[in-house]
């Protein structure tokens, strides 16, 4: 019986119902005084509560696919899931190093100021409220600075822009996946130049699954906010490089879609994307649907079509799993159809679910790839 089949929660539900009915039937007998009766009451109440919690967990798992199979559940106790590595399209280092003509797919137009604004206080993490000039959106941006950051030193840093899953907070990559710690470890080992980590809010308004798109009409211009306003604000406030080889995106789940979309639609700004359990066509929730997939705007956001007909020169590191129904279907098509100059380095897991522990385990490999194949993140590059 599959862990995510409908039969399994049905079985758990039936057992829970039987236990509850048994509790009602036996309660009069257990209402007597005595050690045995008290222990029986406690035991049956605990059993029913444990079964109710188990049923809730099984239903949530079937909905969100935290654990995709019994093997995946067993692997969570320390085993390593089997995986395959696939390289498709062009060469990652070559794609990331391509120098595009001015303005081609580029959204950074700001010029670094002679003197950068002072940091708002001590520490390395700061939260800002940023007003987007082009999008009209005012929202949150969290910035994590690398160790030793000194705007007056003349040193300029690469930028890694993060995209949260849905639902989530801009700090998800920092507080849950501990991206800053993974970056510090990769930098200390010589695998990566430590970037400035920029984490903007992708839910506009907060709580809405925007899919990071410009919705058209009166809908919010979230793509413009993320790929134009935020990068231009970063350039004018922090000591960063502005060449495309020094900018990359990273996202998980819905944020993985956003990371791929930002890089593929704006290759003049971003040379690379790290996509963890993402997908390649927008997947709107029930309460926000700014356009239909087959509309003109929907076709613009079809990354499968873009990869097949007009692939941009970007390098993509991709993680998916055969068992991850949220990610695998479009990822498999993307891997089948993508062609040069887009370059994809894919890690395809077996029996892995859609959860944080899977992505945390893959993060060091993704950062090593970033430092090896993307010039702006390469030590000594």
In this prediction, residue 104 carries a pLDDT of 85
Residue 248 DSSP SS3: strand
User: How far from 335 is each of 8, 265, 344, 347, 349, CA to CA, in Å?
Assistant: 33, 18, 8, 11, 14
Report whether the peptide linkage leading into residue 167 is cis, meaning its omega lies within 30 degrees of zero.
Answer: yes
Q: Does 298 lie in the same domain as 179?
A: yes
C-alpha 256/C-alpha 22 separation (Å) is 47
**Residue 279 · residue 333 · CB < 8 Å:** no
What tokens does 194 get? 């430590």
| Residue position matching structure tokens 């899953």 | 165
Q: Does 60 lie in the same domain as 91?
A: no
C-alpha 307/C-alpha 314 separation (Å) is 11
- Model's pTM, two decimal places? 0.83
Burial 9-32 (b: 16+ CB within 10 A, else e): beebbeebeebeeebeeeeeebee
What tokens does 261 get? 């979309």
In this prediction, residue 294 carries a pLDDT of 87
The CA-based dihedral angle spanning residues 217, 222, 226, 229, taken in that order and rounded to the nearest 10 degrees: 50
User: How far from 98 is each of 95, 166, 168, 245, 375, CA to CA, in Å?
Assistant: 6, 32, 34, 8, 10
Q: Does 235 lie in the same domain as 151?
A: yes
74 found inside a domain? no
Q: Does 170 lie in the same domain as 118?
A: yes
Residue 219 DSSP SS3: coil
Q: Does 151 lie in the same domain as 14?
A: no
CATH number of the structural domain spanning residue 117? 3.40.50.1820
In this prediction, residue 366 carries a pLDDT of 97
DSSP 176-205: TS-HHHHHHHHHHTTS-PPPEEEEE---SS
In this prediction, residue 365 carries a pLDDT of 96
The residue among 223, 211, 343, 233 whose CA lies nearest residue 287 is 211
Q: Does 350 lie in the same domain as 245?
A: yes
The residue among 247, 255, 258 whose CA lies nearest residue 376 is 247
77 found inside a domain? no
C-alpha 7/C-alpha 364 separation (Å) is 37
Q: Mean pLDDT per segment of 10 residues, for the chain of length 381 residues?
A: 64 78 74 71 77 73 58 59 86 92 89 93 94 97 96 94 96 96 97 97 93 93 98 98 97 97 98 97 90 91 96 97 89 95 94 85 96 95 66
Question: For the chain, how many structural domains are there in total?
Answer: 2
Compute the 3-state secondary structure of the chain and give helix, strand, coil in percent, each to the nearest 5: 40, 15, 45
The residue among 365, 102, 135, 154 whose CA lies nearest residue 231 is 135
Q: Does 221 lie in the same domain as 300?
A: yes
Q: Does 145 lie in the same domain as 44?
A: no
| Residue position matching structure tokens 């970063």 | 234
In this prediction, residue 13 carries a pLDDT of 78
Q: Does 158 lie in the same domain as 305?
A: yes
C-alpha 98/C-alpha 81 separation (Å) is 35
257 found inside a domain? yes
Q: Does 192 lie in the same domain as 257?
A: yes
78 found inside a domain? no
Q: Does 155 lie in the same domain as 33?
A: no
Full residue range of the structural domain in which residue 302 is found:
83-377
């Amino acid at each position: 019986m599959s862990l995510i089949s409908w039969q399994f929660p049905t079985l758990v539900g039936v057992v829970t119902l039987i236990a509850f009915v048994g509790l009602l039937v036996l309660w009069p007998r257990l209402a007597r005084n005595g050690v045995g009766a008290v222990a029986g009451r406690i035991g049956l109440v605990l059993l029913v509560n444990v079964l109710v919690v188990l049923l809730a967990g099984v239903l949530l798992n079937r909905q969100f696919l935290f654990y995709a199979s019994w093997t995946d559940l067993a692997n969570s106790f320390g085993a390593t899931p089997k995986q395959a590595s696939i390289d498709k399209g062009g060469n990652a280092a070559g794609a990331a190093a391509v120098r595009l003509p001015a303005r081609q797919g580029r959204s950074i137009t700001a010029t670094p100021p002679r003197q950068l604004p002072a940091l708002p206080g001590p520490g390395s993490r700061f939260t800002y409220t940023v007003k987007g000039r082009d999008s009209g959106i005012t929202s949150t941006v969290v910035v994590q600075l690398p160790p030793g950051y000194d705007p007056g030193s003349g040193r300029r840093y690469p930028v890694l822009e993060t995209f949260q899953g849905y639902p989530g907070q801009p700090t998800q990559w920092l507080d849950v996946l501990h991206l800053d710690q993974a970056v510090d470890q990769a930098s200390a080992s010589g695998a990566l130049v430590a970037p400035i980590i920029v984490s903007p809010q992708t839910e506009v308004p907060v709580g809405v699954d925007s899919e990071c798109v410009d919705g058209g009409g009166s809908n919010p211009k979230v793509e413009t906010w993320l790929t134009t306003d935020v990068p231009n604000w970063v350039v004018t406030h922090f000591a960063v490089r502005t060449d495309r080889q020094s900018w990359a995106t990273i996202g998980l789940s819905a944020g993985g879609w956003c990371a791929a979309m930002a890089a593929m639609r704006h290759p003049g700004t971003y040379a690379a994307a790290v996509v963890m359990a993402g997908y390649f066509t927008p997947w709107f929730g029930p309460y926000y649907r700014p356009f239909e997939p087959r509309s003109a705007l929907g076709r613009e956001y079809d990354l499968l079509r873009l990869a097949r007909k007009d692939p941009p020169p970007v390098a993509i590191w991709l993680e998916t799993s055969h068992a991850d129904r949220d990610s695998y279907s479009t990822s498999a098509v993307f891997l089948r159809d993508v062609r040069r100059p887009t370059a994809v380095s894919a890690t395809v897991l077996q029996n892995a679910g859609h959860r944080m522990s899977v992505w945390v385990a893959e993060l060091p490999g993704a950062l090593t790839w970033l430092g090896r194949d993307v010039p702006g993140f390469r030590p000594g590059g």
